[in-house]
């Protein structure tokens, strides 16, 4: 009996030591909670579905009001009788790439173009909850859909295959894929591509997860970005519909001046330095 108890105690002690060692070896990563929220939380799913429900209502309002445009900077001339269209970002707006974020997190990797292209071509991105239902609704109303994405022209074939698998509209006789570098003046700033759509269509709404999906004035300082937000306050939730993306974007690079040459430690310090804390909390 004593021998059995001793073996049990030794096994328990070994298990505790092993568990403790494993926990101690679990690496820390800045994106853990963000990716966990996007992949596992019902709150993220509910938030996304709520946003697309709002977008449906705004779409109906926009169709009924010919003076309405979602692209005020690019929509010029007599646009009121142009056919209706939507400008839509893809990544973290319509499709979920959190598997890529999780891969970086679990393998302690940073973003690189070649590996991202491999991920795009793997075709494993899934629908953001509520996105496909909204797109089908817009399509049923005769609204043209344009995917204005910073995926590159070289990544278009893989993107098309992925979206086709998900059941997204492919645009019929009009090419809906407006990728970076597809035309010489189509850089990472999306203004030229928004203008390309606005030339022939009345843009009803724009949907995105980053300030850059709505305006080219997105890479300034935090103060600059706040001013852009304030100047366009009336548009948020009306003709500009923002999806939540806590994993990446110009919000997280603004504190370190969008300078990715800075080390991870410098970037992290810059982010910590801009946080507002409870000054009277216990030390």
Over the stretch 46-103, which tens digit does the pLDDT of each residue have?
999 999 999 999 999 999 999 999 999 999 999 999 999 999 999 999 999 999 999 9
As a whole number, mean pLDDT of residues 261-280 equals 94
Residue ranges in the chain assigned as alpha helix (H): 2-25, 32-40, 42-64, 98-107, 113-122, 131-140, 156-166, 191-198, 222-231, 250-253, 264-273
As a whole number, mean pLDDT of residues 169-177 equals 94
Q: Shortest CA distance to 98 belongs to which of 199, 247, 208, 210?
A: 247
The pLDDT of residue 46:
98
**CA–CA separation, 265 and 283 (whole Å):** 24
Pairing mode of beta strands 202-208, 126-127: unpaired
pTM of the model: 0.90
Band of residue 175 on the pLDDT scale cut at 50, 70, 90 = very high
| Dihedral (Cα; 151, 240, 40, 274), 10-degree rounding | 90
Band of residue 25 on the pLDDT scale cut at 50, 70, 90 = confident
Residue 5 has pLDDT above 80, yes or no: no
Over the chain, what is the mean pLDDT?
93
The pLDDT of residue 195:
97
**CA–CA separation, 95 and 164 (whole Å):** 12
The pLDDT of residue 269:
97
Q: Where are the domains of the chain?
A: 37-268
Residue 7 has pLDDT above 90, yes or no: no
Residue 19 has pLDDT above 60, yes or no: no
**98-136 pLDDT, tens digit each:** 999 999 999 999 999 999 999 999 999 999 999 999 999
- Domain range 37-268, CATH architecture: 3-Layer(aba) Sandwich (3.40)
As a whole number, mean pLDDT of residues 164-186 equals 96
């Amino acid at each position: 009996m004593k021998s059995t108890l001793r073996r049990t105690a030794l096994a328990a002690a070994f298990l505790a030591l092993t568990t403790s060692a494993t926990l101690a070896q679990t690496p820390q990563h800045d994106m853990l909670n963000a990716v966990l929220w996007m992949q596992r939380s019902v709150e993220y799913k509910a938030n996304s579905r709520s946003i697309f429900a709002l977008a449906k209502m705004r779409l109906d309002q926009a169709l009924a009001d010919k003076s309405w445009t979602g692209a005020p900077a690019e929509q010029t001339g007599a646009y009121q009788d142009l056919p209706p269209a939507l400008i839509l970002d893809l990544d973290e707006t319509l499709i979920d790439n959190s598997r890529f974020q999780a891969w970086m997190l679990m393998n302690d990797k940073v973003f690189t173009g070649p590996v991202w292209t491999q991920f795009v071509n793997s075709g494993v991105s899934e629908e953001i909850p509520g996105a496909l239902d909204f797109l089908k609704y817009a399509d049923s109303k005769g609204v043209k859909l344009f995917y204005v994405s910073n995926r590159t022209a070289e990544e278009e074939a893989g993107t098309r295959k992925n979206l086709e698998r998900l059941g997204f509209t492919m645009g019929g006789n009009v090419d809906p894929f407006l990728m970076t570098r597809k035309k010489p003046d189509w850089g990472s700033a999306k203004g030229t591509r928004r203008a390309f759509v606005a030339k022939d269509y009345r843009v009803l709404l724009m949907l995105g997860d980053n300030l850059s999906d709505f305006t080219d004035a997105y890479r300034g300082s935090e103060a600059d970005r706040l001013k852009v937000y304030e100047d366009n306050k009336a548009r948020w939730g009306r003709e500009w519909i923002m999806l939540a993306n806590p994993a990446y974007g110009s919000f997280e690079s603004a504190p370190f001046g969008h300078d990715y040459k800075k080390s991870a430690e410098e970037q992290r310090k810059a982010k910590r330095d801009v946080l507002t804390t409870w000054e009277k909390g216990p030390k």
